[in-house]
Structure 1
Amino acid sequence: MPSGQREGTVSIPLTPTRSDLYWRRIFNKYDKDNDGRISYVELKGIIESREYDHDLPDNVVDKIMSLADRDNSGYLDFAEFVEMMHNPDLKAVFGHFVARYIHSIIPHRGPVDTTVQSHSKSIFTYTDGTYEEEYSCWPPAICMILISIIEIVLFCYDASHGKTDATGPIAQIFIYNPHKRQEAWRFLTYMLVHVGVVHLLVNLLVQLFLGVPLEMVHRWWRVMLVYLAGVAAGSLATSLTDPKVYLAGASGGVYALVAAHIATIIMNWAEMEFAIIQLLVFLLLATVDIGTAVYDRYWRHLQQNIGYVAHLAGAVAGLLVGIGVLRNLEKRKWEKRLWWAAVVLYFSLMLIGVLANIFWKTHFQ
């Protein structure tokens, strides 16, 4: 076998060329500890560098490392690095994620296929199904479970005093009371108060069913931000549209979780295996709920103690905050613009709601 060539790999010339110097410059840039090798951590650092538009999922980094690390040392030496950049099984994927740096020297010649091909068979794809691969049971998804437990305990405490209609001692402290708006905690804590067992059970089932899957991908703190954003938006919107209405229940947060699923479908459309089906399901649920509310109020003229404004505001907040804080597995330019629009719009609406509650005193008299 000729010197400088290994079986099943590309030829590496012994005499340095302009191309070798080019790759050496890249190699040295990301060999952070200057040991002449690129580790798994350093490889991931290349891909997740702020110089690039995209992030590469961990499972794809693992596959790239296993294919490029010919001697199974756990590191890439310079020869393996150059082979990786020229390897037909890796060049499309890896080149896709370092495109900005490479194309600053080598002009872009068109879009890169997102599926790596070898011997007419697909090795792996990092689009459809990538989102599903992000589901993880560790750390455990306990945020929605803990909130649900707190809601059950507080409801049982009031029930022990013979009050299940949001008039018990806990409810009196936590319920949103339009006459006690100066007690600012009520704009959030009303989510812990429920009117009857059915009201409690419905909210518990929906928030667990929708919240736990979100936590498994996006982690608890992101889901908590979405949930609380929906709760706060629900009470602020209700205070402005129905200034004399009391508010109880976690429906604002629940509808935020519904809309958060729509947000993550929008931001991870290419990475989801059944994105269109999931989107249609959530849109159908929202349409049925809104349609039922409009029909009951304007055609049947029913007077119901249901805070539909809180539902709608919670959903809007969940969509906007979901776009802002939930994980986006592959960032695109239009998604960055959408992110900024969602963040600015959410904070603008919340600021209007807060200022109106503080200064628009005649509205609440």
Structure 2
Amino acid sequence: MSGQQRRQDVEQGTIPLRNRDAYWRTVFDKYDRDHDGKISYDELRALVESREYENEIPEHVVQKIMTFADQDGSGYLDFREFLDMIHHPQLQSVFGHLVQRYVNSMIPGRRPPVSTRPVDHVDGLYEEEYSCWPPPICMVLISLIEIALFMYDSLDQGANVTGKVANMLIYNPYRRFEAWRYFTYMFVHIGPFHLVVNLLVQLLLGVPLEMVHKWWRVMLIYLAGVAAGSLGTSVTDPTVFLAGASGGVYALVTAHIATIIMNWAQMEFAIYQLLIFLIITISDLGTAIYNRYIISKDESIGYTAHLCGAIAGLLVGINVLRNLEVRSWEKKLWWICLILYVGCMAALIIWNVAFPNYFPPSRPGSSF
């Protein structure tokens, strides 16, 4: 059978295709954005508008499609109703591009070269997920709070920030009983350079993550990195003060590594992205460790917070970030990362609580 004849038979549905349910399940899961096993009206509208049209499809047309496809009148489309809708002859003008994508994937010999493939090919599905709605404002709001607190203390104390806010929020090893400091040190920055670097990195890395994975996932990863940074530092460097959002920033760096690992097949240039983030992480951590232990340079940078934040970002990122196509090995990796993260955090917390003599004595009136 010629490739052209096979293509025609596939499009007409006369040849049963293996793995077709797996393909349509992937498409269904992609637009089931809240992962409740159903396609809502808003999710259907996103699906309808997932290709470029000369004119925007009116909302009443989308509503008619929903009413037509919703066979049980539940207000949602389950997977079977979704399949019937995709393959219905009267709706091919709307969903024919999805069928064509499937046909292309089933006939390797007919694929165009990489340079001429359409943007909706499997490579690049991750990039299609970028969206400015809802607005990616989580990292922006955190950055604004950091700027406001820094300016408040700067106006009071000058460039070397040791003001009231910093004294109240910084991680102070002599005031470990004030548990909020394990998180709030992220709002304290010692000098404008320290602030600007953290702001630039967290905005450049955090906003793209929010555009795909939504703000709450990015916030979880960021806070996980902050908490891991302070807890890890308290155990490895028990007399060190901590200021800055570096634990959270490094969590964002390795969160990108996590999403590259989990969405490798759906990303364009995944290998290059992975190499870039690995080089950034290893170079910075290596420099900090070298300065601290090899040349004994007087460094105020808490590299342990960076390292622990990076580990937390990777482990939590694999657990909470969106995975466009889940494979069996990824499920095993998910459990491994979950157990490692929970185990490590539990060990750090228990160490802080159970061995008070390991740490410097508490000084209720101490400041930095």
C-alpha separation between the residues in 2 aligned to 1:331 and 1:58?
A: 24
The alignment status of 1:295 with 2:290, answered yes or no, reads yes
Please report how far the alpha carbon of residue 114 of structure 1 lies from its aligned counterpart in structure 2 after TM superposition.
3.7
Question: CA, structure 1 residues 335+61, in 2 after alignment: closer, same or farther (shift >3 Å)?
Answer: farther
| Identical-residue share of aligned pairs (%) | 52
Given that residues 151 and 192 in structure 1 are in contact (C-alpha distance below 8 angstroms), is that contact kept between their aligned partners in structure 2? yes
Question: CA, structure 1 residues 58+228, in 2 after alignment: closer, same or farther (shift >3 Å)?
Answer: farther
Q: Which amino acid aligns with 1:221?
A: W
Which residue of the other structure, out of 84, 109, 124, is the alignment partner of 2:87? 84
Which residue of the other structure, out of 321, 324, 331, is the alignment partner of 1:326? 321
Given that residues 206 and 254 in structure 1 are in contact (C-alpha distance below 8 angstroms), is that contact kept between their aligned partners in structure 2? yes
The alignment status of 1:137 with 2:132, answered yes or no, reads yes
Question: CA, structure 1 residues 63+291, in 2 after alignment: closer, same or farther (shift >3 Å)?
Answer: closer
Q: Which amino acid aligns with 1:301?
A: S
The alignment status of 1:194 with 2:174, answered yes or no, reads no
Please report how far the alpha carbon of residue 160 of structure 1 lies from its aligned counterpart in structure 2 after TM superposition.
1.3
4+ residue runs over 3 A deviation: 8-12, 40-45, 48-51, 56-64, 75-78, 80-83, 85-94, 112-126, 163-166
- Give CA deviations for 1:220-269 in whole Å, capped at 9, x if unaligned: 11100000000000000000001111110000000000000100100111
Q: Which amino acid aligns with 1:298?
A: Y
Residue 99 of structure 1 corresponds to which residue in structure 2? none
With normalisation by structure 1, the TM-score equals: 0.72
With normalisation by structure 2, the TM-score equals: 0.72
Q: Secondary structure at the match of 2:299?
A: coil
The alignment status of 1:283 with 2:286, answered yes or no, reads no
- Give CA deviations for 1:293-338 in whole Å, capped at 9, x if unaligned: 2332233221210100000000000001111111111111111111
Given that residues 229 and 253 in structure 1 are in contact (C-alpha distance below 8 angstroms), is that contact kept between their aligned partners in structure 2? yes
C-alpha separation between the residues in 1 aligned to 2:285 and 2:321?
A: 25
Residue 268 of structure 2 corresponds to which residue in structure 1? 273
Q: Which amino acid aligns with 1:248?
A: A
Please report how far the alpha carbon of residue 348 of structure 1 lies from its aligned counterpart in structure 2 after TM superposition.
1.1
- Give CA deviations for 1:262-298 in whole Å, capped at 9, x if unaligned: 0010011111111111111111111211221233223
Given that residues 60 and 126 in structure 1 are in contact (C-alpha distance below 8 angstroms), is that contact kept between their aligned partners in structure 2? no
Gaps of 5+ in 1: 1-7, 13-18, 20-25, 27-39, 95-111
Residue 251 of structure 1 corresponds to which residue in structure 2? 246
Given that residues 285 and 306 in structure 2 are in contact (C-alpha distance below 8 angstroms), is that contact kept between their aligned partners in structure 1? no
Q: Which has the higher helix share?
A: 2
Please report how far the alpha carbon of residue 116 of structure 1 lies from its aligned counterpart in structure 2 after TM superposition.
7.0
Question: CA, structure 1 residues 127+43, in 2 after alignment: closer, same or farther (shift >3 Å)?
Answer: closer
Corresponding residue pairs, total? 304
C-alpha separation between the residues in 2 aligned to 1:49 and 1:140?
A: 22
Residue 154 of structure 1 corresponds to which residue in structure 2? 149
Residue 242 of structure 1 corresponds to which residue in structure 2? 237
C-alpha separation between the residues in 2 aligned to 1:202 and 1:249?
A: 10
Alpha-carbon RMSD = 3.9
Given that residues 264 and 322 in structure 1 are in contact (C-alpha distance below 8 angstroms), is that contact kept between their aligned partners in structure 2? yes
Residue 213 of structure 1 corresponds to which residue in structure 2? 208
Question: CA, structure 1 residues 57+113, in 2 after alignment: closer, same or farther (shift >3 Å)?
Answer: farther
Residue 359 of structure 1 corresponds to which residue in structure 2? 354
C-alpha separation between the residues in 1 aligned to 2:285 and 2:86?
A: 57
Q: How does 1:1-365 map to 2 (within 5 A)?
A: 10=12, 74=65, 75=68, 81=84, 84=87, 114=105, 125-365=120-360
